Amino acid sequence: MMRLVNLVLVALVIAAATWTYSIKHESEQRLAEIRRLERQIALERQTIDLLKADWAHLSHPQRLQLLAERYAADLGLETPDANQFIAVEELPGPPQFDPGDAVGDIIAGEPSDPLTTGSIDGGGQ
């Protein structure tokens, strides 16, 4: 009888050791995956910072001014005259549409036909 109990206990110990090893192995794999993802996130953040710095350099006003002066003749750039500016009152107003005009109703936010979107009317059934 004691032999049978001992054999069962040894089998339980082996099963527990196997289960513990598998859990440990799985946790190590997940930890390695987490570390890989953290390195990838850090690399992506560094890339974003580098791109922001590059964008700041490329869009710096002094650099743009130098480029505009250098290529003004090639691009036909000219300094605008004072008479080329207009006042706000001289700007055209919003377009006027006839009542019932589908485009005008859409722009005004009033659909001309309430069933244009294929709504389901179950009142007759």
pLDDT at site 120:
59
Model's pTM, two decimal places?
0.49
In this predicted structure, the answer to whether residue 66 has a pLDDT above a threshold of 80 is yes
Tell me the pLDDT band of 39, cut-offs 50, 70 and 90.
very high
pLDDT of residue 125: 44
Query: How many Å separate Cα 57 from the centre of its chain?
Result: 23
Q: Tell me what the mean pLDDT of segment 19-24 comes to.
A: 98
CA distance 74 to 125: 71
C-alpha pair distances (Å), 87 with each of 53, 78, 79, 82, 96: 38, 21, 19, 11, 21
